[in-house]
Amino acid sequence: MSNAPNTPLMPKATAVWLVENTALSFEQIASFCRLHPLEVKAIADGEAAQGIKGLDPIMSGQLTRDEIERAQRDIRYRLKLAERKVRVPEAKRRGPRYTPVSRRQDRPNAILWLLRNHAELKDAAIMRLVGTTKTTIQQIRERTHWNAANLQPMDPVTLGLCSQLELDLEVERGSKGAPKREEGDPNAQVLLSVEQTTSAAALAEQDEEKELDAEKIFAKLKSLKGPVEPDEEL
């Protein structure tokens, strides 16, 4: 799992080193390592992180000595992660995604959600997102899955099966492969803009259509009533 941009590598190991080698406050260490101050205090008291070897953030390029000394002089100062000089690309996953046992029961609900909300996704994309098989996707699509009656569509991002970024990338790829409608296609329905629908010409055209419809209605009523007698006209 990749760390957030402002989180140091191996936060607990970094906290152990800072507790043992600096005079920083618990709050400063907790803020930098994204831990609770009480957790840092437990590390200092030997009640937590036992057996974890400290990671030197200076040697790993996450902090500079000047940054640490500045924080030691000012208890209100918060350490800032040093900018990495080398960007390590994130390793691409090979093979199907591993899904924790506790999350596997949620996969059919996620598949149903993807089938209903993103028809542009191919089976291979769904397999990459939730770590499932083509057979399971087909069963849910055809409602032959053993638990089909109880399935509820649920967002795989909310379930923790994939990230929003991964879903967006797959949707973008699927959309590129979807056939585009031609401009002259009579089946292509395009919504008109607000300016078009509210323009004077459009409103006049609508009024004209209403008048034509009214004339047709009265003509039809007269034809149903039959020929008008002279006395009736008077």
Side-chain-side CA neighbours of 38 within 13 Å: the count stands at 0
The answer for residues whose C-beta is within 8 angstroms of residue 234's C-beta and 6 or more apart is none
Looking at residue 1, its pLDDT comes to 40
Looking at residue 26, its pLDDT comes to 93
Looking at residue 29, its pLDDT comes to 93
Q: What is the DSSP string of 221-233?
A: HHHHH-PPPHHHH
CB 141 within 8 A of CB 115: yes
Amino acid found at 97: R
Looking at residue 220, its pLDDT comes to 59
How far is residue 150's CA from residue 155's CA, in Å, rounded to a whole number? Answer: 16
Other C-beta atoms lying within 10 Å of the C-beta of residue 159: 17
The alpha-helical segments, DSSP class H, found in 89-148 are 101-104, 107-117, 123-130, 134-141
In the structure encoding, which two tokens stand for residue 119, read together? 């028809």
Domain definitions of the chain by residue range: 11-73, 101-177
CB 121 within 8 A of CB 171: yes
Low-confidence ranges of the chain (pLDDT < 70): 1-6, 84-104, 177-234
Looking at residue 103, its pLDDT comes to 55
How far is residue 156's CA from residue 149's CA, in Å, rounded to a whole number? Answer: 19
Amino acid found at 175: S
In the structure encoding, which two tokens stand for residue 21, read together? 């080698």
In the structure encoding, which two tokens stand for residue 140, read together? 């849910």
Looking at residue 189, its pLDDT comes to 42
The answer for residues whose C-beta is within 8 angstroms of residue 5's C-beta and 6 or more apart is none
3-state secondary structure 53-99: CCCCCCCCCCCCHHHHHHHHHCCCCCCCCCCCCCCCCCCCCCCCCCC
SS3 label, residue 7: coil
Shortest CA distance to 62 belongs to which of 12, 6, 1? Answer: 6
CB 53 within 8 A of CB 16: yes
Please report, in angstroms and rounded to a whole number, the separation of the first and last CA atoms in the chain.
93
